[in-house]
Structure 1
Amino acid sequence: MKKHLLWRSLSLLMVVAFMLSACAPAATEAPAEAPVVEQPTAAPAATEAPTEAPTEAAAEAPAAPEELVFGLLMVGPYNDRGWSQAHYDAAEYVTEKMEGVSFVYVDKVNTADRPGTTGVQLAESLLDQGAKVIIFNSDDMKVDAVEFAKGHPDIPVIHASGDTVWKDGMNYEEIPNMSNIMGQMEYGKAMAGCAAALTTKTGQIGYLGPLINDETRRLAASVYLGARYCWENYLGKDPADLTFKVTWIGFWFNIPGFTADPTQVADDFYNSGFDVVVSGIDTTEALTEAKKMVESGKEVWAIPYDYKDACAEATEVCLGVPYFNWGPSYVKALQSIQDGSYASFFENSAPDWADINNPDTSMIGFKKGDALSEEAATNLDAFIAELAGGLNLWTGPLNYQDGSVFLAEGETATMQQIWYLGQLLEGMQGQSVAE
């Protein structure tokens, strides 16, 4: 019985196999083409957004650079309408021009406003706030800047003014993480002197000076040289008939009980026949006092310093302002730090003679004031064109104030002779050295 059932099962399987082989295509026939209608109508999977983790190549894409924070130490108030505000505005310019950059700051960095606190300590407080670069903004901070740079060799330090890393300077030191940035304000000051000479009706120009050092002597002398040149060459007057007097207050701005009062110094000028006062200090007392004098019936003028918009405080008496534009130099330095190419450098930039007021290219500018007459403005433009064409006011014969020879006939001063000017020049009244 079991054999009979087994036989019937095998017979049935043979019949099914025969039927299936009869339905299959012959081996020599070409395979049928796949019907198009059977393809999927949805977008191929390869074009769909991946749901898997990123590939190894994608995971290795460079991360966004770490934010670069720079710290700014300012000798005066950040809004002084002068030297310190020019630096503060430059810091804001940097953040507008560079991505991934921000700044922190401390202002009023001086012994009067912060007794018992050093610039080094304040710089370290900026490090605590995340700063990776420190900018010291005053010649008054030179000792602190050098000490801090040596004590933090991994932190780039920029000293605005100063000559520490100038290889041809008298005070050179090799400090790999330190740089000095300055502009050739001698040109801007010469423009200020020219504007003063073209305007004065009494032939008496006063210079409101800060403290006495190499920088302040050469800048005061630059005002005098510009005034003398324009007095003689544009007005045709005898230089001997031009009075130029310097009065120093003892610091970059007023510190009651420590400095002479710049308001009083300006008033003394105006009340003694000086009808133009050119400022060399960080603040605008000469300008504000000129405005008061005009309101009381006097005809006087003033030229502030440092800050492009300083004239706005008293437009009716302002002849113009020579100013620093630190922004482009700071951008250049910080970009080198950001991209890893930073190296110690010394910079002393001239104006961009193609456009001295170009905010993106010129370190030194001169913005004319509303009180400058049309004729004086025309002559000032001609004088600026002469400077751009190579006029060098630092050409002999020039004597020091004591009558000794500074430059012989036809001799041109070197940058070192100008930078380290040891006295005021003959023809200038006032102290040459501090008492």
Structure 2
Amino acid sequence: MKSVKSILAGATLALGLGGAAYAEDPLKVGFVYVGPIGDFGWSYEHDQGRLAVVEHFGDAVETSYVESVPEGADAERVLTQMALSGHDLIFTTSFGYMDPTINVAAKFPDVKFEHATGYKNADNVSTYSARFYEGRAVLGTIAGHMTETNQVGYIASFPIPEVIRGINSAYIHAQKVNPDVEFKIVWVYTWFDPAKEADAATALIEQGVDVIMQHTDSPAAMTIAEERGIMAFGQASDMAQFGPTARLSSIIDDWAPYYIARTQAVIDGTWESTSTWDGIKEGMVEIGEFSDRVPAEVQAEAQAISDSIVSGEYHAFTGPLNKQDGSVWLAEGETADDGTLAGMDFYVEGVEGDIPN
């Protein structure tokens, strides 16, 4: 990893050579991570995408990364330093980097920025995200079948649309196969904090859940599930090594094709600001191998949902669906539009509790 200090040193060296890069110089691509690359979840998979860029382009590209960057002012400082050091393309990989990305991009119009999971674009800022809710539909189906207590625990990070969508999708599909299922949700207000995630998992188990889902980045919940003899799902990466018995399946994020394509666009001079939201069909969301613990008929049902999403025959949010207060949201056969999903700020009927402010 290149530290901020080495990045600035590179900028000084470049200025000492006249301040201009030669044509044969490699394209400089930077990545900013909210957690450590060893989280075996979100940041780990983004760094796997970076490594794929290195493998694909070889000496034509030089990559660097800064890990565990807090969202907010710290992110703006790191992005500024990256831009000053001559980076041509910078990927900012957490929702809370949205405003820092926009702010820094305005000061460096010749640098291309790519922001993950946000919604603000500029001439030199693209946005990209994955339709994780499609994966939640598949895993929710498995959870609904596998729970014996009818209690599914969900460890949630922040109350933003991405996380709320996932809770709703998982619940809808668990409830379809098990009308008695209940979700218990714990908000931990962090993306990566193994201690908090472990405490949340323990608290949920003490409330009677026997399946845990999560929208946080560490394998702590999986580890607790393994220790306590209950079931869980990998999040962002497979996490099988942390719960060889507990793990039922996983949602795996595959950023490599996107990172390679966007880097190529800069090299070709064809890069332009875009908004990308891909899912299972495009391969940005992958469903991990089903555990042998999952009965064959449940595996087949989960696979059928995944296949129908890929074919376009099915949408994870298909009516009839009501909001939590009982008001009609989607009529029979109606599907949710992307605008509503992108701004989702409500639970569907049957999910208990309030969404925090």
* Superposition TM-score tier, normalisation by shorter sequence: 0.7 to 0.9
Aligned counterparts of 2:30 and 2:173: Cα–Cα separation in 1:
36
Change in 2 beyond 3 A, CA 1:252/1:430: farther
Aligned-pair distance for 1:369? 4.5
Residue 47 of structure 1: aligned partner:
none
Note if 1:335 corresponds to 2:264. yes
Note if 1:206 corresponds to 2:165. no
Aligned-pair distance for 1:365? 0.2
SS at match of 2:235: coil
Note if 1:388 corresponds to 2:349. no
**Which structure 2 residues correspond to residues 24-423 of structure 1 after superposition, within 5 A?**
65-99=24-58, 100-110=60-70, 118-165=74-121, 175-229=122-176, 231=177, 237=178, 239=179, 241-254=180-193, 261-294=196-229, 300-307=230-237, 309-352=238-281, 362-370=283-291, 372-375=293-296, 376-389=298-311, 390-423=313-346
How many residues end up aligned between the 2 structures? 333
Aligned counterparts of 1:282 and 1:385: Cα–Cα separation in 2:
26
More helix by share: 2
Gaps of 5+ in 2: 1-21
SS at match of 2:209: coil
Residue 48 of structure 1: aligned partner:
none
SS at match of 1:176: coil
Aligned-pair distance for 1:393? 3.1
Aligned counterparts of 2:269 and 2:310: Cα–Cα separation in 1:
35
Aligned counterparts of 2:293 and 2:84: Cα–Cα separation in 1:
48
| Deviation by residue 1:24-53 (Cα, 9 ceiling, x = unmatched) | xxxxxxxxxxxxxxxxxxxxxxxxxxxxxx
Aligned counterparts of 1:373 and 1:407: Cα–Cα separation in 2:
31
Higher relative contact order (CA 8 A, sep 6+): 2
Residue 358 of structure 1: aligned partner:
none
In structure 2, give the amino acid aligned to 1:262.
E
Q: Tell which deviates more after alignment, 68-77 or 398-407.
A: 398-407
In structure 2, give the amino acid aligned to 1:381.
Q
In structure 1, give the amino acid aligned to 2:231.
W
Aligned counterparts of 1:215 and 1:248: Cα–Cα separation in 2:
14
Aligned-pair distance for 1:219? 1.4
Which protein has the larger Cα radius of gyration, Structure 1 or Structure 2? 1
Query: So what's the TM-score if we normalise by structure 1?
Result: 0.73
Aligned counterparts of 2:133 and 2:271: Cα–Cα separation in 1:
28
Are the counterparts in 1 of residues 83 and 108 from structure 2 also a CA contact under 8 Å? Answer: no
Query: So what's the TM-score if we normalise by structure 2?
Result: 0.88
SS at match of 1:319: strand
Gaps of 5+ in 1: 1-62, 166-174, 232-236, 295-299, 353-360
Residue 32 of structure 1: aligned partner:
none
Residue 36 of structure 1: aligned partner:
none
Cα RMSD of the aligned pairs, angstroms, is 2.0
Change in 2 beyond 3 A, CA 1:416/1:372: farther
Are the counterparts in 2 of residues 209 and 246 from structure 1 also a CA contact under 8 Å? Answer: yes
Aligned-pair distance for 1:228? 2.3
Aligned-pair distance for 1:253? 2.2
SS at match of 1:79: helix
| Deviation by residue 1:185-233 (Cα, 9 ceiling, x = unmatched) | 111111111121121112211111001111111111111122223x1xx
Aligned-pair distance for 1:138? 0.3
Aligned counterparts of 1:206 and 1:108: Cα–Cα separation in 2:
27
SS at match of 1:220: helix
In structure 2, give the amino acid aligned to 1:164.
K
Aligned residue among 349, 352, 356 for 1:426 = 349
